[in-house]
Amino acid sequence: MLRTAGICIVVCFFSLSLWSQSDTVSGTVRDASNALLPRATVRILTWGGNEFSRSLTDSHGRFRFAGLGEGSYTIEASLTGFQTVAIIARPGEDIELLLPLAPVRESVVVSATRTDVPTGQIGAAVTVIAKDEIVNRQELLVSELLQSVPGLTVVRSGGLGNITSLFVRGGEGDYNKVLLDGIPLNEPGGTFQFDSLSTENLERIEVVRGPQSALFGSDAMSSVVQLFTQRGSSETPRPHTFVSVEGGKYSTWRGRAGVSGELGIFDYATSFARLNTANQEPNNEFRSSNASGNFGVSPNASTEFRLILRGTSSRAGTPGQTAFGRPDGGAFFRRADGYAGLSLRNQTTSRWEQRALYTYARSRQVSRDTVIDPPYTPGFEGRSAPFQFSDFLSDFLNDTRRQHVSYQSDISIGSFGRIVGSHLLTFAFDWDHEQGFLQDRQSGSLATDAKRNNFGWVFQHQAIWERLVVTNGVRIEDNDGFGSAVVPRSSMALFLRTGQDALGATKLKFNFGLGIKEPTLVESFSPSPSFPGNPELRPERARSIDFGVEQRLWQDTAKLELNWFDNTYRDLVSFLITGFNPTRGSYFNIQRNKVSGAEVVLELNPVRALRTRATYTFLDSEIVRSPSPSNPAGQSLIRRPRHSGSLLVTWQWQRMNVTSSAVFVGARTDSDFSSLQPPLTSNDGSSKWDLAWMYRLPQGLTVFGVFENILNQHYMEALGFPALRFTYRSGVRLEF
């Protein structure tokens, strides 16, 4: 009797399980590369073409419809930037829909909301440099790729490996939050030099313009630049391995090797690269070694552990302003950077996802001059300094470390197919422990040795309807240096039109946000009696408003994007002399700047083999208040051009790929910093045209090459530092 009752209970539960599945259709939506697509619209249609229900895919590209009757249904998936796909399914089936990319593509990004979102549903100004562009352009450093992003100005002081700064929408060079798979790379106070940041092992680069402190806290004053490393995949049963060697002008050579793959629940991607170049100026040799690894473990479909490792060691000779005089023969800059991150991502329920991250970053930088060169008098094109410049020995150490802990919880509520819409709530907590040791070891002066803790609490609400996505967020920042600050952010994307006809989708965008940046360790903690730190410094602040429109055309073969922005930067930290005999001073929140401008982006893909992107940026900047006589109020900001633009053209024909990239930078305010009489106060406009090519032979062999500055233009990105003239390199890559 008991056995019979037990069998009946088991049969009953089994029958209920079958019944619960028999009225359900579920599945995933992916792109052509098999990547999961979040927030794709999935509709279920009856045979008569009537809509039964609709939903959005979750962050893992999954969807589910329940309560279906018997029969067949049409399941349709669509997403702006992808082609619409429909298949027939019956209740009880688990299906997969693959959405081919539209001619003008969209991407899934993380940096704009800290969640996976298609760019078509984002109100912020976002640019994604995808893997194919990174491969096709063959640039050695990330800074060279960023030159073609609208709103960005890249300034390098000479050849490869020299100091490289990034200015976004008129902001300072330390106003950009730089991340690597979520690992913060900035030094305490926001500084990040792009001089040796390699393109090695990168999957994509996301650039979000405008203040993002509501999401990422200090440093995200004018942009977030996030790099993502490649992940291993199971393209073949065995590991995918490559070896690459190339060489060219100025004794340039680079060797690369890597292996990637997937083995059961494990995936891995590792690479190593070595770059050497003499550059064109004396004592300007640049050497760099880079190692990278991305390792993942997925014990089940809802949990993923990931370990990110990256290290760079580089040395660059620094000859100085060779356009104005003799090179410095003994100066050099050496740095060693190491980054590590361990993350956990768990889909706890269908509507609740959790993420945790621990990272460690260290940067050790040494600026040294070991040779005293003879004095010289700077001169340039009839200008001359009134006195000689003398060399001196130097040895400056900058050793910074950062530990970062982050927890994030994303909760989805509501229904996309109903009037209330779908809502994604994000709660996040960030902790940063910063350490810095800075000292002039040559003079034996007192060292700046400081520690600082930062805490940040984030709340964000994303409301999603069929034609409207509204994102509001706020962050409470508790900083050991300046105390507490509250920074809000609001963003909206409104679709006036959808579809893929001659006049395609029309999207309006609006953004408002505040930004904050903590002072540097020297500004807050310097023990020097000549320039003591000011522990009472307030954070530097930004206020930004921008709006724009995106219009797709001709069956998604073209897209026009227009953005207008207005930024105010206040409480900027400046050095002010407070006494003489001896001269002394300190740091104060004094300066104020304002910037407005516009960005234009036009993408054209008339045929599959041809892709083009043109950008133009107009920038109107002004110093409103300043204590510096060399940068007086009313003057435009230094090294921010009023006009700039780029043109990228890629042509793919069978096994051949040719990519042409051109960058134009207009005249801008600058300084010779060499006391020339009369002084140089502006830098002429310049243009640079590069051409890269590759040809894929059978058996995994590829030959490639690149020509840079084809027109052999003579220009300086920063006054006194000549940019590289015409150069070239070529090589071969073997994959197996």
Domain end position, chosen among 69, 99, 129: 99
Same domain flag for 94 and 196: no
CB 396 within 8 A of CB 528: no
Q: Residue 2 pLDDT more than 60?
A: no
Burial 334-352 (b: 16+ CB within 10 A, else e): ebbbbbbbebebebeeeee
Give the residue-averaged pLDDT of 604-612.
Answer: 92
CB 329 within 8 A of CB 283: yes
Give the residue-averaged pLDDT of 245-266.
Answer: 95
Give the residue-averaged pLDDT of 715-730.
Answer: 96
In this prediction, residue 417 has a pLDDT band, given cuts at 50, 70 and 90, of low
Same domain flag for 601 and 718: yes
d(CA 361, CA 342): 12
672-695 confidence digits (pLDDT tens): 999 999 999 999 999 999 999 999
Of the chain, the percentage scoring pLDDT greater than 90 comes to: 74
Same domain flag for 60 and 112: no
Same domain flag for 140 and 253: no
User: 597: closest CA among 223, 212, 220, 168?
Assistant: 168
Burial bucket for residue 484 (CB in 10 Å: 0-12, 13-18, 19+): exposed
Q: Residue 8 pLDDT more than 60?
A: no
Same domain flag for 441 and 357: yes
Q: Which of the two residues, 397 and 102, has the higher pLDDT score?
A: 397
Same domain flag for 343 and 378: yes
| pLDDT the model gives residue 22 | 58
487 domain residue, yes or no: yes
Question: Residue 226: in which H helix or E strand, if any?
Answer: strand 223-229
Q: Residue 237 pLDDT more than 80?
A: no
Domain end position, chosen among 99, 130, 156: 99
Same domain flag for 148 and 251: no
CATH number of the domain at 206, please. Answer: 2.170.130.10
125-161 confidence digits (pLDDT tens): 999 999 999 999 999 999 999 999 999 999 999 999 9
User: 218: closest CA among 596, 483, 556?
Assistant: 483
- DSSP lists the bridge partners of residue 290 as 273, 312
107-117 confidence digits (pLDDT tens): 889 999 999 99
CATH number of the domain at 643, please. Answer: 2.40.170.20
Same domain flag for 490 and 558: yes
CATH number of the domain at 74, please. Answer: 2.60.40.10
419 domain residue, yes or no: yes
Q: Residue 261 pLDDT more than 80?
A: yes
Residues recorded for the chain: 736
Q: Residue 9 pLDDT more than 80?
A: no
d(CA 658, CA 439): 48
Same domain flag for 571 and 431: yes
Q: Residue 119 pLDDT more than 60?
A: yes
| pLDDT the model gives residue 224 | 97
**Token representation of residue 209:** 């313009």
Quote the domain boundaries for residue 195: 108-226
647 domain residue, yes or no: yes
Q: Residue 33 pLDDT more than 80?
A: no
542 domain residue, yes or no: yes
Give the residue-averaged pLDDT of 570-581.
Answer: 88
pTM: 0.92
Torsion of CA 167, 170, 175, 178, to 10 degrees: -40
d(CA 273, CA 703): 18
Average of per-residue pLDDT values in the chain = 91
Same domain flag for 264 and 371: yes
285 domain residue, yes or no: no
Same domain flag for 185 and 77: no
- How are beta strands 164-168 and 152-156 bridged, if at all? antiparallel
Task: State the residue for tokens 């329940």.
Answer: 66
| pLDDT the model gives residue 47 | 72
Could you write out the DSSP letters of every residue in 609-641?
Answer: TEEEEEEEEEEEEEEEE-S-TTS-TTSPPTT--
Domain end position, chosen among 78, 99, 120: 99
Which of 80-89, 290-299, 489-498 is predicted least confidently?
80-89
253 domain residue, yes or no: yes
508-538 confidence digits (pLDDT tens): 999 999 999 999 999 999 988 888 899 999 9
121 domain residue, yes or no: yes
Q: Which of the two residues, 619 and 60, has the higher pLDDT score?
A: 619
Same domain flag for 253 and 213: no
State which of 28-32, 120-124, 390-394, 616-620 shows the largest mean pLDDT: 616-620
Please count the structural domains in the chain: 3
In this prediction, residue 15 has a pLDDT band, given cuts at 50, 70 and 90, of very low
219 domain residue, yes or no: yes
206-226 confidence digits (pLDDT tens): 999 999 999 999 999 999 999
